[in-house]
């Protein structure tokens, strides 16, 4: 339930970010500060959830994840610490795009691995190769997430606002490539599974037809 609420928060803030232009935001500084702090706080909490999700996927599909009470609480002291970050950077809209992409990429990679687990339609060598490629990609996605967390957290990296935005842009661009790769790997696994199954069904049908003719 907490995850659903968090996702709704992200989506609502994202819509607010895109609904108004930069000039409009600059002309509404009080409103700007309020929603900017909320957005980066949501990103930070969501990023923490994504990191734990990655660790679970990396550790095994059967791992048990217990969300403790209050884990996703946005405490006032955390909001105060966020004030050290320039609000213009805090409201950098592509951050939410990156967070959503990362979540979806982890989901695709995990589902692809799950589909191969114990599936006789995949040769052992084929399953091992696909799994290795997906694990490597998930490691890259996790590294991008780490970079985004570091660059949006006060006190982690010492740099100018321009350098920070440049670093964010680089991570976001890498994230878009990684998201596309996750989609391709997922489609490859689905294609292999469905076509091998289709071929097996056709072969079985042909054998049945031949046995009838005999």
| Over residues 35-56, mean pLDDT | 54
Per residue in 152-184, pLDDT tens?
Answer: 776 666 677 677 778 888 988 999 999 999 999
Handedness of CA 48, 137, 190, 187 (dihedral sign): positive
Instruction: Compute the distance between CA of residue 194 and CA of residue 198 in angstroms, rounded to an integer.
Output: 6
Identify the three-state secondary structure at position 126. helix
pLDDT digits (tens, 9 = 90+) for 100-151: 788 788 888 888 988 888 888 888 888 899 999 999 998 898 888 888 878 7
Q: How many domains does the chain have?
A: 1
Its pTM stands at 0.55
Measured distance CA(11)–CA(28) in Å, rounded: 21
Residue numbers of the domain that contains 154: 2-213
Smallest CA-to-CA distance from 53 within 118, 3, 8 is with: 3
pLDDT band of 21, cuts 50, 70, 90:
very low
């Amino acid at each position: 339930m907490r995850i659903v609420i968090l996702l709704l928060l992200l989506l609502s803030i994202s819509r607010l970010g895109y609904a108004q232009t930069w000039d409009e935001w600059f002309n509404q500084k009080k409103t700007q500060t309020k929603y900017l702090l909320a957005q980066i706080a949501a990103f930070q909490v969501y990023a923490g959830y994504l990191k734990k999700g990655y660790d679970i996927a990396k550790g095994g599909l059967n791992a048990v994840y217990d969300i403790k009470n209050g884990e996703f609480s946005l405490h006032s002291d955390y909001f105060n610490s966020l004030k050290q970050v320039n609000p213009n950077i805090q409201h950098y809209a592509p951050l939410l795009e990156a967070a959503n992409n990362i979540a979806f990429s982890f989901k695709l990679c995990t589902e692809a691995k799950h589909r191969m687990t114990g599936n006789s339609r995949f040769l052992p060598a084929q399953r091992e190769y696909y799994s290795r490629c997906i694990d490597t990609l998930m490691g890259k996605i996790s590294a991008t997430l780490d970079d985004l967390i570091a660059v949006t957290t006060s006190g982690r990296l010492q740099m100018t606002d321009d350098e920070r935005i440049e670093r964010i842009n680089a991570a976001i661009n890498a994230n878009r490539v990684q998201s596309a790769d996750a989609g391709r790997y997922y489609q490859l696994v689905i294609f292999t599974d469905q076509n091998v199954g289709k071929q097996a069904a056709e072969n079985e049908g042909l054998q049945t037809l031949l046995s009838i003719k005999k």
